[in-house]
Chains A and B, each alone.
Chain A
Amino acid sequence: MAGAIEVSPAGLFLENMLFALAVAGYLAATAGYLAYLFGKKSLGSYASRLLHLAFFLHSAFLAARTVNVRRVPFVGHFEFGNLFIWACVLVYLWTERRQKEKYYAVGAFLAPLVVLYIGYLTVVPKIFTKVTISRAHTLLPPVLQSNWLKVHVSASVLGYAGFTLAFAVALMWLLKARLQEKSAFARALPEFAVLEEYMYRASVFGFLFQTVMIITGAIWADTSWGRFWGWDPKEMWSLITWFVFAVYLHARFTRGWSGLRTVALVVAGWFAMLFTWVGVAWLLSGIHSFG
């Protein structure tokens, strides 16, 4: 007895069309940023404009989805994934606007991650039958009809977006370190200190929202399930992610760690985040299996 919603053919067409266009836009922007990275410096601003356009289309897709499902599109793997991707681009574009071309190189690492996430939502279910990412338009079951849903999900996508951005910068750091100063390519990437500062700020941003996500999730669990904390895998993996980033922040600030050790912690934190989102859903089971 699933609660499916009747969607008009026009509404469905619009939604699917906007999604396809947004994906095409993200792919094109990724190509642009990569071309910028590999020496076509003049392409940087075009890549940025493409990303803005794709972001606009993606926003329109989310709006169409909202109309079609008659509620916020915050539920289920497909909607959450889209919101998360949207938040990643939002947070990145916000930093890019503040810093102008200084950060186009970051875009060349963030955009492929966005494509990776889209691939997870669209291509992976076609390859692995165990992964079923439904695009069905479903009504909210009563347990999810709560304002906490909006706060909790908004905080979690913003937190994940911060961690994704931090991870993108960690990858830049690793690549730069790997190539050493010999190569012109490595020299074109921002200085290590700049990268570490960016990574730190993105992590702090993610950490703040991850904290809000865990707290609002616990308060919501208390009002609907009768407990703040149930030790279920989704809860535990959010906490693990939070711990890893807490260790990173302490190590950087109070122990004065820098360089590879902090980069490794951010990479580990991103994997923990990814596992919270993807791994828990398909490899572990729990009460959160609806989203």
Chain B
Amino acid sequence: MARDFKRRQEAGGSLRRVLRFLSSMQLGIGLLLLLAAISIFASLQEQEKAVADIYRSFWFIGIMAFAALNLLLCSLRRVKPLARLALQPQKVQTVEAIKKMPFYRAVKLTPADGGGGGAEKASAALRALGYHVSVAESPEGKKIFGEKGRSGYFGSFLTHFGLLVILLGALVGSLTGFEYTGGGIAGDSFQVPGGNFTVRIDGVRMVQEPDPTVRPRVYSDVVVTRGGSQVAAGTVAINEPLRFQGNTIYHKTFRYVSEIVIKNPATGEETTKQVSEQDLLAVGSEGSYIHFLKFFPNFSMTEQGMPYSINWLPEKPVLAGILYNSAGQGERPVLLQLDKPQVIAVAAGEIELTLKDFQDAVVYTVTRNLGRPLLLAGALVLVFGLYLCFAVSPRRLYAACERDGDVIHLGGSSYRGRIGLEEDLARVAKELAQQEVEA
């Protein structure tokens, strides 16, 4: 039995040792340095490759999870001692103990201040410095305890807690999220499979910047429906997404959709097609086609014959492409100007093409991120925690008179030896000493 007990104790001992290691700051520092080293290596790779091979790999996520576990265990282990330290200060200290504190001073009192007057003055001076003061009677005499900046004890705990909430938010976001790209021109709708809703584009407006060479801003009105009923509606523009139920519709970019009328001059037969950049359009029945490359709102040519757009004003719209024959060989460039019919000779005969109209099409990124509230809350807690860590310094000051009453002992400590306490101590001492001089 005794041996059993010993073995259990040993097991407990090694479990405790493992826990101590897992919650240790050495491990934390090591993991942070490791993450930094991996990130340095990864940032030197192509970004897509780094994301695919490293940041999304199970081992990288594993290291992050390990760091989170370390942080969690470390915080948990410290909760109790921290609470005891912060909330249950030992308010009564012997003169001997005060003498041994990191900061210590003794002030000789005047007869007037002896026997209690000094203690009152000391507590008044502490209150004036913003300390919470409590006074206790003891056989030794009056004991004064002053405390300030208690919230500062919780700074690092809140910082770490904020970090954990952020990591949790990231986890929730990546487990429940999706990303989808879709879009169209006014009147179009598209289905977002991951979100089980449909987005309808009701209108698209292009607002030109004062300088026509700056890319215009595009505003689009969208309506979101699910099962026939409206879920959300609003205007989307760059930097102004539409958010609903954890989903967000972002304006990603815009492009032009051209309307082309294709006419067979021989038969008079006409068809209308919508094309956008990079689309292929079959012309004639022989396999010839046009590859549309780019839409220029205000077309011009450089001296070297390179097409470009002077600015974003739609003053001379041109849709440019290349005509390919059925063997896939490029034959010649095609430049379609608005309302100017152009006759193109292909193997099957002649075809007349006209750029009839063009419209602004919007491309959206639709995402769901249910982790967003956690991410934002975690960030707030993190910043608040850092503020408490670095801007608030918790201090404790003790004052006690000797039994015969003519010397008051002042001592104190500040959390992790921060400065500031020494000045407070000097001020209280000066306050008492001034009385002495004046008396």
A1 proximal to B (CB < 8 A): yes
A145 nearest in chain B by CB position: B239
Choose the segment among A22-30, A77-85, A243-251 that binds chain B (4+ C-beta atoms closer than 8 Å): A243-251
B379 nearest in chain A by CB position: A215
A10 proximal to B (CB < 8 A): no
CA distance A151 to B387 in the complex (A): 18
Q: Which B196-223 residues have C-beta < 8 A from chain A?
A: 209-211, 213-217
CA distance A243 to B44 in the complex (A): 18
Choose the segment among A112-120, A180-188, A204-212 that binds chain B (4+ C-beta atoms closer than 8 Å): A204-212
Contact A243 B36 (CB under 8 A): yes
A2 proximal to B (CB < 8 A): yes
B244 proximal to A (CB < 8 A): no
Q: A1-B311, A226-B367, A243-B35 are in contact. Are A208 and B390 (CB under 8 A)?
A: yes
CA distance A227 to B55 in the complex (A): 15
Contact A142 B383 (CB under 8 A): no
Q: How far is the CB of A215 from chain B (nearest CB, A)?
A: 5
Q: Which B369-383 residues have C-beta < 8 A from chain A?
A: 369, 372, 375-376, 379, 382-383
Contact B217 A236 (CB under 8 A): no
Number of residues of chain A lying within 8 A (CB) of chain B? 48
B383 touches which one: A211, A224, A254 (CB < 8 A)?
A: A211
Q: Mostly helix, strand, loop or mixed at chain A's interface?
A: helix
B312 proximal to A (CB < 8 A): yes
Contact B29 A251 (CB under 8 A): yes
Q: Which A84-142 residues have C-beta < 8 A from chain B?
A: 139-142
Q: How far is the CB of A134 from chain B (nearest CB, A)?
A: 15
Contact A237 B43 (CB under 8 A): yes
Q: How far is the CB of B429 from chain A (nearest CB, A)?
A: 24
B47 proximal to A (CB < 8 A): yes
A232 touches which one: B47, B211, B311, B375 (CB < 8 A)?
A: B47
Contact A233 B36 (CB under 8 A): no
B419 nearest in chain A by CB position: A197
Specify which chain B residues have a CB less than 8 angstroms from the CB of A286 in the assembled complex.
47
A197 nearest in chain B by CB position: B419
Contact A240 B209 (CB under 8 A): no
Q: A231-B55, A243-B36 are in contact. Are A211 and B386 (CB under 8 A)?
A: yes
Specify which chain B residues have a CB less than 8 angstroms from the CB of A139 in the assembled complex.
209-211, 213-214
Contact B25 A231 (CB under 8 A): no
Specify which chain B residues have a CB less than 8 angstroms from the CB of A250 in the assembled complex.
25, 28-29
B42 proximal to A (CB < 8 A): yes
Contact B376 A1 (CB under 8 A): no
B248 proximal to A (CB < 8 A): yes
Q: A141-B214, A208-B390 are in contact. Are A226 and B179 (CB under 8 A)?
A: yes
Contact B29 A1 (CB under 8 A): no
Specify which chain A residues have a CB less than 8 angstroms from the CB of B407 in the assembled complex.
none
Q: Which B57-114 residues have C-beta < 8 A from chain A?
A: none
Q: How far is the CB of B302 from chain A (nearest CB, A)?
A: 13
Q: Which A1-41 residues have C-beta < 8 A from chain B?
A: 1-5
Over the window 293-318 of chain B, the binary record of Cβ atoms lying under 8 Å from chain A Cβ atoms (1 yes, 0 no) is 00000000000000011111000000
B195 proximal to A (CB < 8 A): no
Q: How far is the CB of A240 from chain B (nearest CB, A)?
A: 5
A223 touches which one: B26, B40, B241, B383 (CB < 8 A)?
A: B241
A284 proximal to B (CB < 8 A): yes
Interface size bracket, B side: 35 or more
For A244, A250, A280, the residue with the greatest tally of chain B CB atoms inside 10 Å of its CB is A250
B210 nearest in chain A by CB position: A139
CA distance A218 to B241 in the complex (A): 15
A239 proximal to B (CB < 8 A): yes
Specify which chain A residues have a CB less than 8 angstroms from the CB of B44 in the assembled complex.
284
Specify which chain A residues have a CB less than 8 angstroms from the CB of B28 in the assembled complex.
250
A254 touches which one: B25, B33, B375, B387 (CB < 8 A)?
A: B25
Q: Which B11-37 residues have C-beta < 8 A from chain A?
A: 25-26, 28-29, 32-33, 35-36
B348 proximal to A (CB < 8 A): no
Specify which chain B residues have a CB less than 8 angstroms from the CB of A243 in the assembled complex.
32-33, 35-36, 39
B51 proximal to A (CB < 8 A): yes
Specify which chain B residues have a CB less than 8 angstroms from the CB of A280 in the assembled complex.
43
Specify which chain A residues have a CB less than 8 angstroms from the CB of B170 in the assembled complex.
228-229
Contact B43 A233 (CB under 8 A): yes
CA distance A254 to B252 in the complex (A): 46
CA distance A204 to B388 in the complex (A): 12
Specify which chain A residues have a CB less than 8 angstroms from the CB of B29 in the assembled complex.
247, 250-251, 255
B50 proximal to A (CB < 8 A): yes
Contact A219 B376 (CB under 8 A): yes
Q: How far is the CB of B416 from chain A (nearest CB, A)?
A: 6
For this complex, 16 residue pairs linking A to B, each with C-beta atoms less than 8 Å apart, are: A1-B215, A5-B211, A139-B213, A141-B215, A142-B217, A204-B390, A207-B386, A208-B387, A211-B382, A226-B179, A226-B241, A227-B367, A228-B173, A231-B50, A231-B51, A247-B33
A residues with a Cβ closer than 8 A to B are: 1-5, 139-143, 145-146, 204, 207-208, 211-212, 215, 218-219, 222-229, 231-233, 236-237, 239-240, 243-244, 246-247, 250-251, 253-255, 280, 284-286
B residues with a Cβ closer than 8 A to A are: 25-26, 28-29, 32-33, 35-36, 39-40, 42-44, 47, 50-51, 55, 170, 173, 179, 209-211, 213-217, 237-241, 248, 250, 252, 308-312, 365, 367, 369, 372, 375-376, 379, 382-383, 386-387, 390, 416
**15 further A-B pairs in the complex, CB-CB below 8 A; given A1-B308, A1-B311, A243-B36:** A2-B213, A3-B211, A4-B211, A139-B210, A215-B379, A215-B383, A222-B369, A223-B239, A223-B240, A226-B248, A231-B47, A240-B39, A243-B39, A247-B32, A247-B33
